[in-house]
Amino acid sequence: MIAPPSRKARSETPIDIRSFDLLSLTTAFVLGLHAAHLPWWLDITLALLLGWRWWQRRQRAGRVPRWLKLPLLMLLTLAVITYYGSIFGREPGAAFAIGLLILKLLETESARDVRVGIGFACFALMTALLFDQGLIVTVIVALGLLPALATLRALEPAQTPMTLRRSLLPGLGLLAAALPLALLAFLLVPRLSSPLWGAPSPREARTGLSDRMSPGNFTDLLTDDRPALRVSFGGTPPPPDQRYFRAYVMWDYDGTNWNYVDLVYRAPVELLTSHTIKYQISMEPTHQRVLPMLDVPVDAPEGARLRQDHVVMADRPVNDPLTYTAQSAVQYRLQPELGIQARQRGLSLPVGFNPRALALGREWRQRYGNDDAAIVQTALALFHDGGFSYTLSPAPLGRDAMDDFLFNTREGFCEHYSSAFTVLMRAAGIPARVVTGYQGGYWNQVGDYLLVRYSDAHAWSEVWLAGRGWVRVDPTAAVRPERVSLGAAAAAGEQLAWYRNDWLQGLRNHWDIVNRWWGEGVIGFDAVRQRGLLTPFGIRDADTKTLGALLAIGSVLFIAIGLGWALLRRQARDPLRAALRELERKLARRGVVRRPSEGPQHYLSRAARALPGQRDELAMLMRCYLELRYAHDEPPPESLRDFQRAARDFRVVRVVK
């Protein structure tokens, strides 16, 4: 007697090339999805290792030796710790997990190895949502399950070879069938007030505007096309030249940087008219406290305070999407009276920096005397007529940065112009300061809101004029008026010609409506909104027990509906059973009738004894039927068609009594 194979022997059954190729495809998809989160040298190394293993497995089956795997594991651990400083956390954890997934492929030779690898790949696939939960990334993660499901399907016995497209289609159907249950779980699974584990912010996360500005450090923001603010107005939106969103007001200049100092002192504002603008801002996370407001805010929203110079600071950093209501003045006089200390601070300049710029400012003061407005216009005329150009890639500046900019390079963007203008004003004896924030935006008529992107970041100046207080002056507009009237992309000119394409901009801005819905309806669906989910049904605050009971009832109903649909579909559309019944009818006409309690194997065996001349043909039909019925979850289409054709062509010759 031959003993049955042990469990270990069954689990060590070698896999075919098709299964390994699909597993490699799944692993490559996971690596590609995480490529942007990994250092470039690790991306290249893991991609080369994956490609080598795929090529080596096609040449000769077998595991990679341990003497090679163990050093690779040690090198991976050492590389992650050296680069990140630890293997714990979002970035190092993801890098280590992807590396382990590639190394797992080196020892994959059995069906058990494939199943373990697929489980690990699905986990690594979901970790991509720790970095980005946007709609596009979520869809890509869902599509990443298709090769994983195709790999598991390829492990089923007696699978016939299929094209890649046909291998992926069943998984797409499974994902579609799982959507209702996923929606039910999304709505009713009780949400925690805090996550199960911390997800630290990336070390180089984009934070939008900074409380420090130096000419040149806006470059990354000006090329960042992601949404920063979405602003909804109660009525008609303000014209483009009034869409200045104040963030930081910077007084202190050290020759290189302008710095914001957070003070409680609030500058008085005198409203020249009772008309104000009311609006609502939906702000993306910045991990900072500043809340940009339309210039100039008259009050702070709930959970924030109005600080020095009408800068609005939240009580805590904005780490999640935030929506707040605001109110700003249209016509005003900001700080009509300037104290001695404020005047000295607004005229302060570092000693030993930019001597040519200081000399030019003093020359203007001597020429125009006490006419501050004439000095301001002379500076703007210098930028307009002095050969200056607007560019997002200006030449680097030296120690005397403003001198280099004003008298040598004469090229730059808003940071350069606002900084140089403010230095010139102070040199001429006019109190001045730098203001940073956002300017412009795209009015989305479909969504009825103003879309402000990070690329709309801007810097301008404020000068103090007697009888008028602090007055906004935008020196960049003297060089490029399009920056104010048409936006940052228009100001860049030929540098971003592709960006200004009307069709492309319309597509991008309309797509933002979908992103806004996704952010508010899906990502922003928190515990508070979940508790109010049943308000239309008379339940104001749905507690955990209520949500759990509804989830259990909904799950049972969903399973019952799915099971009933599957049974009805199997009975109504069972081509294998229909082919067997056709064969039974042919045999019944010759006297071989199937008994009520007789299974297909016994019935076809009895028919073979009754028809000795067709015994081999009936035995073949019996083997095919049993394999198609019991060896697969779903019979392969090619084999099913062969059985249907054989049953249809079968003809009874004679019956022996």
Higher confidence at residue 370 or residue 573? 370
Burial string for 24-55 (b: 16+ CB within 10 Å, else e) reads bbbbbbbbebbeebbeeebbebbeebbeebbe
pLDDT for the residue numbered 1: 37
pLDDT at 219: 61
Q: Given this model, what pLDDT does residue 196 score?
A: 45
Kindly state the average pLDDT of the residues 404-420: 91
pLDDT-wise least confident of 62-71, 103-112, 518-527, 623-632: 518-527
The tokens for 355 are 């001597």
The answer on pLDDT for 576 being more than 50 is yes
- Mean of per-residue pLDDT scores for the chain: 82
Between 282 and 163, where is the model more confident?
A: 282
Assess whether pLDDT exceeds 50 at residue 634: yes
Single-letter amino acid code for the residue at 503 = W
- pLDDT above 80 for 203: no
* pLDDT tens per residue across span 602-618: 888 888 888 888 888 88
pLDDT at 199 over 50: no
CA distance to 23, 120, 426, 548, 559, per residue, from 106 (Å):
12, 14, 67, 43, 39
Confidence band for 502, pLDDT divided at 50, 70 and 90? low
Average pLDDT value for residue range 237-244: 88
Question: Is the Cβ–Cβ distance between 166 and 146 less than 8 Å?
Answer: no
Query: Band of the pLDDT at 218, cuts 50, 70, 90?
Result: low
Q: Which of 34-38, 142-146, 171-175, 355-359 has the highest mean pLDDT?
A: 355-359
Q: Which has more confidence, 550 or 488?
A: 550
For 89, the 3-state DSSP assignment is coil
pLDDT of residue 62: 79
Residue 412: the pLDDT is: 87
Residues 224-233: tens digit of each pLDDT: 778 889 999 9
Which amino acid is it at 490? A
Residue 556 has pLDDT above 50, yes or no: yes
3-state secondary structure 229-268: EEEEECCCCCCHHHCEEEEEEECEECCCCEECCCCCCCCC
115-162 tens-digit pLDDT = 999 999 999 998 888 888 888 888 899 888 999 988 888 887 656 667
- For 413-444, write each residue's pLDDT tens digit: 888 999 999 999 999 999 999 999 999 888 88
Q: Is the pLDDT of residue 491 over 60?
A: no
Residues 6+ apart with CB under 8 A from 87: 77, 80, 81, 93, 96
Order across the sheet with 332-334: list the strands.
269-271, 332-334, 469-473, 457-465, 432-439, 244-250, 293-294
What's the pLDDT at 654?
A: 59
CA–CA separation, 77 and 95 (whole Å): 10
Which tokens in the block code for residue 512? 């933002």
Is the pLDDT score of 570 beyond 70?
Answer: no
Tell me the pLDDT tens digit for each residue of 344-389.
Answer: 999 999 999 999 999 999 999 999 999 999 999 999 999 999 899 8
Beta strand segments in 501-640, E: none
pLDDT value for 248? 93
Question: pTM for the whole thing?
Answer: 0.63
- CB-based contact 292:245 (threshold 8 Å): yes
CA distance 329 to 295: 7
Examine the pLDDT at 500 and tell me if it is beyond 70: no
CA atoms of 583 and 457, how far apart (whole Å):
76
The per-residue pLDDT for 51 is: 92
Look up residue 176 and give its amino acid. Answer: A
Average pLDDT over residues 197-225: 60
Q: Tell me the mean pLDDT in the region 567-576.
A: 69
What pLDDT is recorded for position 490?
54
Judged against a pLDDT cut of 70, whether residue 2 lies above it is answered with no
Q: Which of 53-57, 170-174, 500-504, 607-611 has the lowest mean pLDDT?
A: 500-504
**Active-site residue numbers?**
414, 458, 474
pLDDT above 70: percentage of residues in the chain: 86
Pairing of strands 276-283, 332-334: unpaired
Q: What is the mean pLDDT of residues 28-50?
A: 91
Which range has highest mean pLDDT (19-28, 444-453, 528-537, 636-645)? 19-28
3-state secondary structure of 444: strand
Nearest residue to 451 via CA among 236, 284, 242, 208:
284
Q: Do β-strands 389-390 and 411-412 pair in parallel, antiparallel, or remain unpaired?
A: parallel
Q: What is the mean predicted confidence (pLDDT) over 216-238?
A: 77
196 or 526, which is more confident? 526
What mean pLDDT comes out for the span 1-26?
A: 67
**pLDDT band, residue 11 (cuts 50/70/90):** very low
In terms of pLDDT, which residue wins out, 495 or 553? 553
pLDDT at residue 4 tops 90: no
Lowest model confidence (mean pLDDT) among 32-36, 152-156, 426-430, 517-521: 517-521
Selected residue with higher pLDDT from 374 and 220: 374
Query: What pLDDT is attached to residue 448?
Result: 84
**Residues 437 and 295: beta-carbon distance below 8 Å:** yes
Q: What does the pLDDT read at residue 9?
A: 44
Q: What pLDDT sits at residue 423?
A: 95
